[in-house]
Structure 1
Amino acid sequence: MTRTALNPIFLQIGPLTIRWYGVLIAIGAIIGVWVAVKEANRRQIMSEDIIDLVLWGVPFALIGARLYYVIFQWPFYSQYPSEIIKIWHGGIAIYGGLIAAFIVTAVFTYHRHLPLWLVLDIAAPSVLIGQIVGRWGNFMNQEAYGRITSAHFLHTLHLPNFIIEQMFINGHYRQPTFLYESCWNLLGLIIILSLRHKPGLFKRGEVFLSYVLWYSFGRFFVEGMRTDSLYLGAGIRVSQLLSLLLFVAALVIFIYRRRQKNMPTYLAGSGLRYPYKREAD
């Protein structure tokens, strides 16, 4: 039986190659920005601020995702330094992108005199959307998969045939860990969007912290199933360790902030007059 993998290239025009991975990331980003802009208007944050944050955050997130991967694969890149910039050969790590995006957001909100925790709350569902859609880019590239399994097992998951066949990689069927993570994130997105407008439920910062708790918990287990993990010596998977640290840190911060008196709720918004004028720098 001949099996043909889906073409990872979306469009080829002469020397210009556009891959499905990039297309799907762009789609996720566009949807995420639209969702964030709508919510920002409700929380007294101007849409222009969200757009500006995206314009700064996305490039640095991509750089952070690449640097994170390069650092933990340094034995290879130290031998082939010209490969460092060749991101089209693969090799980005979502945690690196999230860390870079968080730093950019912290700096951006400081200079724009915006409440950091509220902006993070607004951004959290959009980040989940990007992760949900982006994992299908991994699917098209036949990457971020798990251990060897059987066609029978994949059929028991009631998966469409095109997914099952795309999971036939290097002569074996593989666990669709990209799908597990995408579905886990979709469930988290549904829960967060269903609950975030409940009066008095979330204090400022807790939508974001809920996202961190949800994502890191799921990623810990999915990462343990993957075969392409980055390692930190002694068989320690970097993403599993970071997921554990993020989960504990988010939980501690959540409990600490919940105990603080007079903490504004998420629905209270920024408290800024809208549209607002910023102080001259």
Structure 2
Amino acid sequence: MGTITIGLDPNIVQVGPLLLTWHGLFTALAILSAIWLASRELARKGIVIPNFDLVAILTVLGGVVGARLFFVLDHLSEYLRQPWRILAITEGGLAVYGGIIGGTLTAAFLLWRQRVPIGPVADAVAPGLLLAQGIGRIGCLINGDAWGGPCTCLVCSGVAASVPAEGLGYCPFALRYTNPKALLPPELLGVPTHPYPIYDMAVNFLVLAVLWRLRRRGLPDGSLFALYWLLYGIGRFLVSFVRQEAIWFLGLQQAQVVALTTALMGLVALLWLLRRRTPATAPARS
């Protein structure tokens, strides 16, 4: 119980116009880890994708564009005032769901063009996506661009005077950002906040553990990816209640609306895939 203070500068080093940030570093590590794990799973399944390197690069680009687009839409009023910042991705600001959707649509199109079955590839990629999402959250944890709401648990915070009255209540432990360059709102600087990035990281690794156990169980092609959308969607919806973001629809944040939508899509797809499995394709009983 208590507060974890994060005072690291979000920027690691700058040489001329080139800026290396913690967010950029862990985003790069996340992408490399996803490609590495996906390539291992593809090899295990005996799947060969023509021009794999090009497909991987274009999929990553599609994911980055989608991630930035979703983040900008979620903070539209801010970027309308400063439109030149839309391309400043080194500041942080990549929405996970935008990356998932942008990357998925890009990869699906490229695989369709090459007539590569999408279902088995999606199953091979799903664990890598979860690993990448978990690693990427480390950058968010350092720079504060995915912040939780203020925590009013005085046992955790120990600084009652600085906790806003509209805080979100009890938390098992809190994060407090002290570096002026942190990317959370200025009014939250030095204020104990819910450890949202850690919660989301935990969701990713828990879902990864489930998928890793099921990947050899002979499920219909596409089932693992559908289960990924379902389980991560449920987890993301729940942990987002401790975020401090603008309400988007029916009292929910953008991420929660998208999470519910993708979870429902995952559930429908999973049920459909399991129901259409014929006895001939079902795994033999031992």
Q: Structure 2 length normalisation: TM-score?
A: 0.81
1:48-82 Cα deviation digits (max 9, x unpaired): 65433211111121111111222333333333322
Instruction: Name the amino acid aligned to 1:196.
Output: R
**Take 2:279 and 2:114, find their aligned partners in 1: how far apart are those partners?**
21
Give 5+ residue unaligned stretches, structure 1. 268-281
CA distance in 1, matches of 2:282, 2:132: 22
1:175-204 per-residue CA deviation (whole Å, 9 max, x = no partner) reads 111001101111111221122113x3x111
- 2:267 maps to 251
C-alpha separation between the residues in 2 aligned to 1:157 and 1:231?
A: 21
Task: Note closer, same or farther for the CA distance 1:41–1:167 as it changes in structure 2 (3 Å cut).
Answer: farther
Q: Given that residues 69 and 92 in structure 1 are in contact (C-alpha distance below 8 angstroms), is that contact kept between their aligned partners in structure 2? A: yes
| 1:48–1:113 Cα change, 3 Å | closer
Task: Report SS of the residue matched to 1:12.
Answer: strand
Partners of 1:77 and 1:263 in 2: how far apart? 54
| Match among 225, 231, 243 for residue 226 of structure 1 | 243
Partner residue of 1:192 out of 211, 231, 235 = 211
Q: CA RMSD in A?
A: 2.8
Task: Give the 3 Å change call, closer, same or farther, for CA 37–90 of structure 1 in structure 2.
Answer: closer
Residue 47 (structure 1) shift:
6.2
Q: Which amino acid aligns with 1:214?
A: L
Matched residue count: 259
Cα deviation for residue 232 of structure 1 reads 2.2
Residues 104 and 266 of structure 1, relative CA distance in 2, 3 Å threshold: farther
Matches within 5 A, 1:254-265: 254-262=270-278
Q: 1:176 aligns with which of 188, 195, 219?
A: 195
Q: Percent identity?
A: 27
Aligned to 1:79: 81
Report the alpha carbon displacement of residue 16 of structure 1 after superposing the two structures with TM. 2.0
Does the residue aligned with 2:209 lie in a helix, a strand or coil?
A: helix
Q: Indicate the residue corresponding to 2:136 in structure 1.
A: 134
Q: Secondary structure at the match of 2:14?
A: strand
Aligned: 1:19 with 2:27: no
1:212 partnered with 2:229 = yes
Task: Structure 2 unaligned segments of length 5 or more: list them.
Answer: 159-169, 180-187
Q: 1:9 aligns with which of 2, 11, 18?
A: 11
**Structure 2 equivalent of residue 273 of structure 1:** none
* Residue 21 of structure 1, CA deviation: 0.7
TM-score (norm: length of structure 1): 0.82
Cα shift at 1:151:
7.0
- Distance in 1 between residues matched to 2:35 and 2:65, nearest whole Å: 19
Counterpart of 2:45 in structure 1 is 43
CA contact under 8 A between 1:9 and 1:17: conserved in structure 2?
yes
The alignment partner of 1:148 has SS state of coil
Distance 1:167 1:153 in 2: 16
| Greater shift in the superposed pair: 77-86 or 239-248 | 77-86
The change in CA–CA distance for 1:78 and 1:251 in structure 2 (over 3 A counts) is: same
Q: Match of 1:271?
A: none
Aligned CA distance change for structure 1 residues 69 and 142 (closer, same or farther; 3 Å): closer
> CA 1:84–1:157 in structure 2 vs 1: closer, same or farther (change >3 Å)?
closer
- Structure 1 pair 170–206 and aligned structure 2 pair: CA distance change class (3 A): same
> Aligned partners of 2:190 and 2:260: how far apart in 1?
34
Instruction: State whether residues 188 and 211 of structure 1, in contact with CA within 8 Å, keep that contact through their aligned partners in structure 2.
Output: yes
- Partner letter of residue 96 of structure 1? G
Shift in Å, 1:264: 8.8
CA distance in 2, matches of 1:195, 1:5: 40
Q: CA deviation at 1:101?
A: 0.7
